Amino acid sequence: MIQDIAPHKYDNTFRIQKPEKEDYVLCIQKNRVFLRDGKEKGILEIPGFGEILPYLSDAEERAVYLFSIDERPYFLMEIRDEEAGLLPETDSGKEYVYAWKTTQDIRAMEPMYQAFAAITATQLFRWRQSRRFCGRCGSRTKDSTTERALVCPECGQTEYPKISPAVIVAVTDGDRLLMSRYRVNHSTYRGYALIAGFVEIGETFEETVRREVMEEVGLKVKNIRYFKSQPWAFTDTEMIGFFAELDGADTIRLQEDELSEAGWYTRDEIPDDDRLISVGTEMKMYFKYGENWESVLRHRAGDR
Ligand SMILES: [Zn+2]
């Protein structure tokens, strides 16, 4: 999954720290990230702080420490709309170019731990942008000096990073797995998906599982078992994965405003997916191949 970056080590301990030239910097404006289109064409890289320093005179004061990977710090630069043009996309003196890329482009970045860093930075960026003013009294918020939070200096309101819990459910019936496809206007994801939905107020995760399965496909489930969780920064979500067994009739009643189709698929009918960035994909492969799905997939990829 995207957050499985071992042997690299992610450290999100809160710190107040100034950037050094060799630290990484993620310059973000709206939904775009300023990246280096690397020495190898098509491989996106995160630039060093020293590379953007000549173009933003107050970069040092504005850089916000985010986290470190392998003890190398990552900083955020929140780029105002009128500043976007200051960062040059090409520089004739260098062997590489820079480019503004979308979060969808980041998804395909290599190595994957840098994609994880960049996408996590976009989540923190969105949160900071949406909490610039206190929701209670309207004053401008400030960075907390003790924790990763924005604090209102007038009324004391504290805002933490936005992380919305959502469940994702693999509904099984013996050798069959329930999979669906989203409607074109509901999600950008075109592959087979599992049932998923946000936890609502007053619910346990298990209650969300039962409600979402009933709402989306009209089925009852039992034996709900936790599988794994995953930070999913693309949508400010923490995905909590569960397996559940069909309880009773298997007739699907589709929620047509969200899903275009849903059906039961045997293990053989589930397509292989070797780019395992999401917990949903991992759950499909776990169901298809069992505990050793990783080595089975690697083996199959080697055969091709
Ligand atoms: Zn306030």
Query: Phi/psi at 214 (nearest 5 deg)?
Result: -65, -45
Whole-number pLDDT of residue 259: 73
CA distances to 80, 141, 192 from 83, rounded to whole Å, are: 5, 22, 40
Third-level CATH fold of 164-291: Nucleoside Triphosphate Pyrophosphohydrolase (3.90.79)
Separation CA 257–CA 97 (nearest Å): 43
Helix (H, G, I), strand (E, B) or coil at 216: helix
Helix (H) / strand (E) element for 299: namely helix 293-303
Separation CA 114–CA 119 (nearest Å): 9
Q: Which of 44-48, 106-110, 292-296 has the lowest mean pLDDT?
A: 106-110
Whole-number pLDDT of residue 242: 98
Whole-number pLDDT of residue 273: 79
User: pTM of the prediction?
Assistant: 0.90
Cα of 228 from ligand 1 centre, angstroms: 37
CA distances to 11, 15, 124, 154 from 159, rounded to whole Å, are: 21, 17, 12, 14
- CB of 141 closer than 8 Å to CB of 159: yes
Size (the chain), residues: 304
Cα of 32 from ligand 1 centre, angstroms: 29
Q: Mean pLDDT, to the nearest integer, of 151-174?
A: 97
Whole-number pLDDT of residue 187: 67
Total Cβ atoms within 10 A of residue 258 = 18
Cα of 31 from ligand 1 centre, angstroms: 27
Cα of 203 from ligand 1 centre, angstroms: 29
Of 154, 67, 175, 77, nearest in space to 116 by CA? 67
Helix (H, G, I), strand (E, B) or coil at 84: helix
Third-level CATH fold of 10-130: Nucleoside Triphosphate Pyrophosphohydrolase (3.90.79)
Q: Mean pLDDT, to the nearest integer, of 256-275?
A: 85
Cα of 163 from ligand 1 centre, angstroms: 21
Cα of 183 from ligand 1 centre, angstroms: 40
Of 226, 244, 212, 231, nearest in space to 278 by CA? 231
Domain ranges of the chain: 10-130, 133-162, 164-291
Percent of the chain with pLDDT over 90: 72
- Who wins on pLDDT, 276 or 29? 29
